[in-house]
Structure 1
Amino acid sequence: MEKVRCMLSNANLPKSFWAEAASTTCFLINRSPSVSIKKKTPQEVWSGNPANYSDLKIFGCPAYAYVDNGKLEPRSIKCVFLGYKAGVKGYKLWCPENRKVKEGTPGVEEPRYKARLVAKGYSQIPGLDFTDVFSPVVKHSSIRALLGIVAMHDLELEQLDSPRQWYKRFDSFMTSHDFKRSSFDSCVYFKKNSDGSFVYLLLYVDDMLIAAKDKGEIRKVKAQLSEEFEMKDLGPAKEILGIEILRDRKISKLYLSQKGYIEKVLCRFNIQSAKPVSTPLATHFRLSSALSPQSDDEIEYMSHVPYSSAVGSLMYAMVCSRSDLSYAVTVVSRYMVNPGKEHWKVVQWILRYLRGTTDVCLQFGRTEDGVIGWKATLQTTVALSTTEAEYMAITKACKKAIWLKGLFSKLNEDLQISTVFCDS
């Protein structure tokens, strides 16, 4: 930390840039000779390649980032050098004028788009990507958990929309009105009323769901929000994130359906008239990387096939409501980089399966049998036996169950985890 303090002091940068200074410090230490390893650098010992000192710059020195504002406008903007970006040929710069890190300019960084579904968000590391900002999004499991509570207790469920960015003030506003934010999902808010009932609010970017025992409580929350923000009342919740919300309150049932979304996907890939199949993945498919294009003709053919788009569309359906697609989508996702004709046939097979199961949906009711979470993925570590693999899988399942138990406890529901089953 002594080096970090010196670098921040020399560059006259505030403490908020400690992560960038620490990252640069580690970068330099890994490229500095060490007596303990016979005057070699840690990078050379680790990778076998000598360190390259030609791209080293002074932390906090002036730097100029390329901008394209027109023929008569300046071609660069003055910034401050903040360090290096792993895997990218360029530097990380800070622009004092708009107080933002410059992105997407030659020699700086590849553009990072605002993420709404953040893959492995838990893997953010202080000093590398911990300061990245994303849109506020609730977990899909949290949405299904709340809708399960709504169906079980026959709660009122309505929806709001905000046409502009406002989350910076939203959290402080909610807490000032006696709402508490869940420690298990930062986009879940709840408030306990004097009569013991609860009001729940889920936030996804600028869309929200509000659930309560009676509409009076919902109207009260809507009025409070409308006084502070420009809100659009969407009435009873009918759809969120492309998922249709269907209710039959006479029998206390709530359904989550993606029929409309799936039909659009089938039309986009010209499968709307194909013959349906009964399984998401047939046993006769034997996929491997050896089936990737080998000849120029195959490469040319696959360059016109929307493989990635189709897999992405299937993945969204799987994440939201179609747990039956989990394994099949995981299989075809492995070959996104260089798919072949056989891989594309499997994707078409999955689409044909959807063709015959567009009406399949998730169901929640008064009984405790609603599906909330699922996952199918390759293990990131190599197991030495099937028993070890089963323990790894069951550990992941238990971690998810413990998280759900904590989430439900915050929502005033007691989730009992009695038995966890596992097979090979």
Structure 2
Amino acid sequence: MQRNDASKWQEAVQKELNTLRENNVWTVCHSEENVSKKTVSSKWVFKIKRANNECEYKARLVARGFEQCDAMELCDLYAPVAKLSTFRLFVCIATKLNLPIYQMDVTGAFLYGEIDEKVYLELPEGAYVDSKKIVTLNKSLYGLKKSPKYWNNKFNSVITKQGFVKSMSDPCLYTRCEGSARTYVLLYVDDLLIFGNDNKQISDLKSLLNNEFRMKDLGLISNFLGIHVEQNLNAGITDLNQKEYLENVLKKFDMSNCKGICSPMDLNFNTKILEDNNDSVCDKNIENKCRQIIGCLSYAVLGTRPDLCIAVSILSRYQNNANSALLTALKRVLRYVKYTLNYKLVYKCNSDLLFGYCDANWGGDLKDRRSTTGYCFKFAGCLISWSSKKQASVSLSSTESEYIAISMAASESCWLINLLKDFNIENVCPVTMFCDNQSAIMVANTESVKRLKHIDIRFHFIKELIKNGKLMLKYIKTEDQTADMFTKALNRNLLSRFIKNCGLYE
């Protein structure tokens, strides 16, 4: 209130209080005995939200939920959010059908949750009601431990009454089929994506949501969770990129003007320099900065940048021993980000095929000699899922490490098959999986396991998938060198060659 823009903050506070009153979030406690009960304090959270060169002053009244320590309040807290693989497949299907994707946002989403517990809230200065500072909550409030779940339950009850069915593969995907008309909704907390082949049904759905909640109709999708989406319906192409997000990351760590480099890690990078902490005193600033950089890059990996997978995977293993060497390695990754800011995933659908590639590097981790699995999946020619992950156990041979990699990739293929069924696409079996190890393919296609009986039973489900016609393994040598290079890049430090030859980015 001492700032020059105090009037704008007062306006934001009043707007928040009006929203709370409209939703009947609380009831004032007039009885003195309630004051002595266990209360949860609250606070104002202020933020200036910048978008499209505009500034929006936002004030949020937030409960300090960490004070909820009752055992009954700590159970059943889980609230799902859409997987980014589901989001990419959602965009891929819309591109394939040449349908526009619409975006909506719920204003004050958590305030609609129907609370099932008794919570007394102590209001902060500027929010007292009739000079009273203790209230009983009728609805959920930002900050409470169960607020995300309350909101998700509320939205689920509203949408399912309209004939939508929640996906078993991703509980944030809703589908409705009425004859030839199909409508799909994807929810990520309070952000909604909608597409369908019946404009009237989409219009009716928007009207229903506006009646139930305070909604912002953002029109055609442009930016979702920091991922810029550009649909070109005339050409049947959709672009995904995180350029703006990554520019902000570079700015945050003072790397906006750094010199770009064509690979995130040196081909002969030795992780031993990360293990030997030569700093005489552990610098907490370096440790915090390393963790922040890894966190920012991890989100880029989840979104649109699989080429950062292996670098982030390796460097994140040394956070507990953060030193100047780790910070230098991370800054090199940021220099690579600077060099590749304009990279984007381009979706142009050309088939109905789901296929994948998997690979492993045997004993690649010099510290514990565990192997790393890399896999990726394409649907209709569009890259929708990828992973680079260290295996849970030490492999005794290259065949075993490749076999485990096939198993991990096969698990993802099963999930993708079920997810595609929600989009009414069921002719994807068997899924073709390409692997460059003939021994692993032989083991998967035969009944004998006498030489690999020490492998955990969870990896042998590949045999059942092959027997039931859900998976088909093929040896890859020359069929698709680009994809083979890509999977190797996900589990080995070959990214400089990958960037040169891959062609997955434009």
Superposition TM-score tier, normalisation by shorter sequence: 0.5 to 0.7
Residue 216 of structure 1 is matched in structure 2 by 200
Distance 1:365 1:300 in 2: 48
Residue 176 of structure 1 is matched in structure 2 by 161
Residue 375 of structure 1 is matched in structure 2 by 387
Aligned runs of 1:19-418 on 2, under 5 Å? Answer: 77=38, 103=66, 131-163=75-107, 164-165=109-110, 166-194=151-179, 196-288=180-272, 291-297=275-281, 299-300=282-283, 303=286, 306-367=289-350, 368-414=380-426, 415-418=428-431
Distance 1:174 1:142 in 2: 19
1:208–1:301 distance in 2 versus 1, CA, 3 Å: closer
2:267 maps to a residue whose letter is T
After TM superposition, give the deviation of residue 328 of structure 1 in Å: 0.6
After TM superposition, give the deviation of residue 260 of structure 1 in Å: 0.3
Give deviations 1:206-225, integer Å, cap 9, x for gaps: 11100112433221110111
1:237–1:295 distance in 2 versus 1, CA, 3 Å: closer
Deviates more, 1:209-218 or 1:341-350: 209-218
TM-score, length-normalised on structure 2? 0.57
Contact 1:103–1:109 at 8 Å: present in 2 too?
no
After TM superposition, give the deviation of residue 370 of structure 1 in Å: 0.7
Contact 1:293–1:340 at 8 Å: present in 2 too?
yes
1:417–1:302 distance in 2 versus 1, CA, 3 Å: farther
Q: Which runs of 5+ in 1 are unaligned?
A: 1-72, 79-101, 113-128
Distance 1:212 1:292 in 2: 55
Contact 1:162–1:206 at 8 Å: present in 2 too?
yes
Deviates more, 1:373-382 or 1:284-293: 284-293
Contact 1:291–1:343 at 8 Å: present in 2 too?
no
Residue 457 of structure 2 is matched in structure 1 by none
Distance 1:292 1:339 in 2: 10
After TM superposition, give the deviation of residue 417 of structure 1 in Å: 4.1
1:284–1:382 distance in 2 versus 1, CA, 3 Å: closer
2:277 maps to a residue whose letter is P
Give deviations 1:218-256, integer Å, cap 9, x for gaps: 211101111222222111111111001111222100011
Tell me, yes or no, if structure 1 residue 422 matches structure 2 residue 406. Answer: no
2:215 maps to a residue whose letter is M
Distance 1:328 1:258 in 2: 18
1:232–1:305 distance in 2 versus 1, CA, 3 Å: closer
1:137 maps to a residue whose letter is V
SS of residue matched to 1:377: strand
1:132–1:344 distance in 2 versus 1, CA, 3 Å: farther
SS of residue matched to 2:195: strand
Q: Which runs of 5+ in 2 are unaligned?
A: 1-34, 40-64, 111-150, 351-379, 438-506
Contact 1:161–1:207 at 8 Å: present in 2 too?
yes
Contact 1:155–1:214 at 8 Å: present in 2 too?
no
Distance 1:404 1:143 in 2: 12
1:292–1:302 distance in 2 versus 1, CA, 3 Å: farther
Distance 2:381 2:271 in 1: 35
1:132–1:422 distance in 2 versus 1, CA, 3 Å: farther
Give deviations 1:271-317, integer Å, cap 9, x for gaps: 111111111221132113764434434x2385476110011100000
Runs of 4 or more consecutive aligned structure 1 residues displaced over 6 Å after TM superposition = none
SS of residue matched to 2:229: strand
RMSD (Å) for aligned C-alpha atoms: 2.8
Distance 1:234 1:190 in 2: 21
After TM superposition, give the deviation of residue 346 of structure 1 in Å: 1.2
Deviates more, 1:283-292 or 1:386-395: 283-292
SS of residue matched to 2:321: coil
Give deviations 1:42-94, integer Å, cap 9, x for gaps: xxxxxxxxxxxxxxxxxxxxxxxxxxxxxxx86x949xxxxxxxxxxxxxxxx
Q: Identity over the aligned pairs, expressed in percent?
A: 30
Give deviations 1:167-209, integer Å, cap 9, x for gaps: 3222122221111111111110001122x13100000001110
Distance 1:223 1:377 in 2: 44
Contact 2:105–2:191 at 8 Å: present in 1 too?
yes
SS of residue matched to 2:386: coil
1:273–1:169 distance in 2 versus 1, CA, 3 Å: same
After TM superposition, give the deviation of residue 109 of structure 1 in Å: 9.8
SS of residue matched to 2:269: coil
Q: How many residues align?
A: 309
Higher relative contact order (CA 8 A, sep 6+): 2
Distance 1:202 1:347 in 2: 34
After TM superposition, give the deviation of residue 104 of structure 1 in Å: 5.4
1:408–1:273 distance in 2 versus 1, CA, 3 Å: same
Higher-strand-fraction structure: 2
Contact 1:160–1:208 at 8 Å: present in 2 too?
yes
SS of residue matched to 1:234: strand
2:87 maps to a residue whose letter is I
